[in-house]
């Protein structure tokens, strides 16, 4: 027996999913903004974090404006692309060249020289995925205008169908 699916039901489902995604994104962006304001350069949620590539030191593998998804690990291998925190809380994402006890050396693929040695405890995680240009979108969404628009879109998708139903009911 086929169950007919109305356009209203499909729209309600799609708008609910989009609204939930918008609200979830706004919450995650809010959390990371608060964590960064509290001095945490790479907020991690369940061992996962993200960063935006701001320089060409890892091109072509990591183009400027890419979003990198980072996972904290216990062990790293030579050749891994890792994100580490410098002494001034700046994040750097480069390839791991060597590991000796508690010292690591990294280098950007497009750079001519190795980075200064770092302590392995400065490594925050390994790059698991790269989303080209998504970092630019995320930076915009993290702006005050982007957060407000996300919340407005979520609110409209949740409340507009109900308001529309009331107006139609009032007309009849």
Please tell me the predicted confidence (pLDDT) of residue 127. Answer: 95
Q: How far apart are CA 64 and CA 157, in angstroms?
A: 33
Helix or strand run (H / E) with residue 27: helix 7-37
Q: Is the confidence at residue 16, as pLDDT, over 90?
A: no
Residue 140 to residues 48, 65, 68, 84, 121, Cα–Cα distance (Å): 21, 11, 16, 24, 31
Q: How far apart are CA 70 and CA 104, in angstroms?
A: 18
pTM over 0.95: no
Q: Which of 108-112, 116-120, 147-151 has the lowest mean pLDDT?
A: 147-151
Question: In CATH, what number does 42-130 get?
Answer: 2.10.109.10
Reading the block at residue 103, the tokens are: 């010292």
Mean pLDDT of 131-149: 77
Ranges of each domain in the chain: 1-40+133-172, 42-130
Q: Is the confidence at residue 126, as pLDDT, over 80?
A: yes
Please tell me the predicted confidence (pLDDT) of residue 111. Answer: 92
pLDDT band at residue 2, thresholds of 50, 70 and 90? low
Top pLDDT among 73 and 27 is at: 73
Q: Is the confidence at residue 99, as pLDDT, over 90?
A: yes
Mean pLDDT of 130-152: 78
pLDDT in tens, 157-170: 767 666 555 655 56
pLDDT in tens, 60-84: 999 888 889 999 999 999 999 999 9
């Amino acid at each position: 027996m086929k169950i007919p699916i109305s356009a209203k039901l499909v729209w309600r489902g799609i708008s609910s999913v989009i609204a939930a995604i918008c609200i979830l994104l706004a919450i995650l962006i809010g959390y990371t903004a608060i964590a960064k304001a509290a001095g945490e350069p790479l907020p991690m949620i369940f061992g996962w974090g993200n960063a935006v590539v701001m320089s060409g030191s890892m091109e072509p593998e990591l183009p400027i404006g890419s979003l990198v998804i980072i996972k904290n690990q216990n062990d790293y291998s030579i050749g891994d692309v890792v994100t580490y925190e410098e002494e001034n809380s700046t994040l750097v994402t480069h390839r791991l060249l060597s590991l000796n006890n508690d010292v690591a050396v990294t280098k950007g693929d497009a750079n001519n020289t190795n980075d200064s040695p770092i302590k392995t405890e400065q490594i925050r995680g390994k790059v698991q995925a790269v989303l080209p240009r998504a970092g630019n979108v995320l930076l915009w969404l993290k702006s005050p205008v982007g957060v407000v628009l996300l919340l407005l879109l979520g609110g409209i998708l949740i409340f507009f169908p109900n308001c529309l139903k009331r107006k139609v009911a009032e007309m009849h």
